């Protein structure tokens, strides 16, 4: 086998089911991406605009780069039993976060592949690996490499494997034999993802307003979740898979062989009441080496509070009453909202008691609004 064939074989041996190689060129979609940023669709993700100049050409990251090895790693594991998937007393966590943090796992595989290339090539090779944290427009290069097409929900779909996979790649300073594939499959006239989005975040095919996306709201947004979007979140407490779950192409998905993506105990639809009053120590221990730690305790419990409010079950009132006294204002505010959604005398008493001692102006407003909601639910 020549070097290109050896690289592909080694990549697949490491678990990357899909591999494509293309020559390095300036981005063909960066202008579209810049317009997307200018419209404010990135929300508070300021780092995306900060990295814009670097995304114009991969050689801004590795000046010597001549080839891109585009890779995809399947993370589909299983479908949760319908009995718990539809249970509003349980929180739904995006499938990609059920197991170990994919960044660490994939970066380790990429480093091993880069080492293989450097030891196998006849000449010295410089490399730069990337997952989704590097300033690279990885979906464009994945599509150009023939791995899949950018779908209407902005995910990449492979005609055989669907969209349950992580994208990654390696920039290398040598010329490799490149792929010139013709893409198979398309979204056609299907609009299921657009229609299924609870918050209407997919404005049009291939146009996503992150500010409305539940994944953004539960992970990237650091402050208060807009009131009008909270009901649409249902019991989604970290990320959202709805646009992928309804996609017909994902009926082709097969379970991954990567054990690190298998659900950790307690990550498959955990009971909301077991989460809402976690201490920082409990949160850190439970979600060590998990993508969920990105939301931090304050953000995660904010999401749990919203889910409890959407559950509207008075069994949640005692736990929310405790959360109403949390040190974090963000958690207190969303706990107040949840109590307002649930209603009843016990919820009202908890809100009134907190109102007497609450000093944070925004939380006072949340409590008063919750009390007004509460009065209509007796």
The verdict on whether 132 is a catalytic residue reads: yes
State the DSSP string of 223-236. SPPPGGGTGGGTTE
Q: Please, what sign has the CA dihedral across residues 362, 367, 372, 373?
A: positive
Where are the domains positioned within the chain? 1-270, 272-378
Fold classified for 272-378: 1.25.10
183 within 8 A of 143, measured Cβ to Cβ:
yes
DSSP-derived 3-state class of residue 42: coil
CB 225 within 8 A of CB 217: yes
Contact 68, 233 (CB under 8 A): no
Note the helical H segments in 271-344. Answer: 280-286, 296-311, 317-323, 329-342
Taking only the tens of pLDDT, the chain with its 378 residues reads 899 999 999 999 999 999 999 999 999 999 999 999 999 999 999 999 999 999 999 999 999 999 999 999 999 998 877 778 789 999 999 999 999 999 999 999 999 999 999 999 988 999 999 998 889 999 999 999 999 999 999 999 999 999 999 999 999 999 999 877 777 789 999 999 999 999 999 999 999 999 999 999 999 999 999 999 999 999 999 999 999 999 999 998 999 999 999 999 888 999 999 999 999 999 999 999 999 999 999 999 999 999 999 999 999 999 999 999 999 999 999 999 999 999 999 999 999 999 999 999 999 999 999 999 876 666
Of 31, 111, 132, 200, the catalytic one is 132
């Amino acid at each position: 086998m020549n070097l290109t064939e050896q690289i592909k074989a080694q990549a697949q041996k490491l678990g990357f089911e899909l591999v494509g190689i293309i020559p390095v060129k300036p981005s063909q979609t960066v202008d579209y991406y810049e317009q997307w940023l200018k419209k404010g669709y990135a929300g508070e993700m300021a780092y995306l605009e900060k990295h814009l100049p670097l995304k114009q050409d991969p050689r801004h990251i590795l000046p010597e780069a001549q080839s891109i090895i585009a890779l995809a790693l399947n993370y589909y594991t299983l479908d949760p039993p319908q009995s718990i998937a539809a249970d509003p007393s349980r929180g739904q966590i995006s499938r990609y976060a059920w197991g170990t943090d994919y960044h660490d796992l994939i970066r380790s595989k990429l480093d091993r592949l880069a080492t293989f290339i450097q030891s196998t090539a006849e000449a010295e090779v410089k490399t730069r690996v990337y997952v989704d944290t590097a300033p690279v427009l990885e979906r464009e290069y994945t599509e150009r490499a023939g791995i899949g097409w950018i779908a209407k929900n902005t995910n990449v779909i492979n005609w055989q494997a669907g969209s349950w996979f992580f994208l990654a790649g390696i920039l290398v300073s040598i010329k490799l034999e490149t792929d010139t594939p013709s893409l198979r499959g398309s979204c056609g006239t299907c609009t299921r993802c657009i229609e299924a989005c609870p918050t209407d975040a997919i404005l049009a095919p291939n146009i996503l307003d992150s500010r409305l996306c539940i994944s953004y709201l539960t992970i990237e947004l650091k402050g208060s979740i807009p009131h009008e979007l909270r009901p649409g979140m249902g019991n989604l407490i970290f990320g959202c898979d709805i646009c992928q779950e309804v996609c017909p192409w994902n009926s082709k998905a097969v379970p991954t062989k990567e054990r690190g993506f298998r659900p950790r105990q307690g990550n498959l639809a955990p009971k909301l009441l077991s989460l809402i009053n976690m201490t920082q120590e409990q949160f850190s221990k439970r979600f060590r080496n998990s993508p969920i730690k990105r939301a931090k305790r304050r953000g995660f419990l904010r999401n749990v509070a919203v889910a409890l409010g959407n559950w509207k079950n008075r069994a949640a009132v005692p736990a929310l009453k405790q959360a109403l006294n949390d040190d974090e204002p963000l958690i207190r505010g969303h706990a107040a909202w949840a109590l307002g959604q649930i209603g009843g005398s016990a919820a009202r008493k908890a809100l009134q008691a907190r109102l007497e001692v609450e000093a944070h102006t925004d939380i006072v407003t949340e409590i008063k609004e919750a009390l007004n909601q509460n009065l209509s639910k007796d």
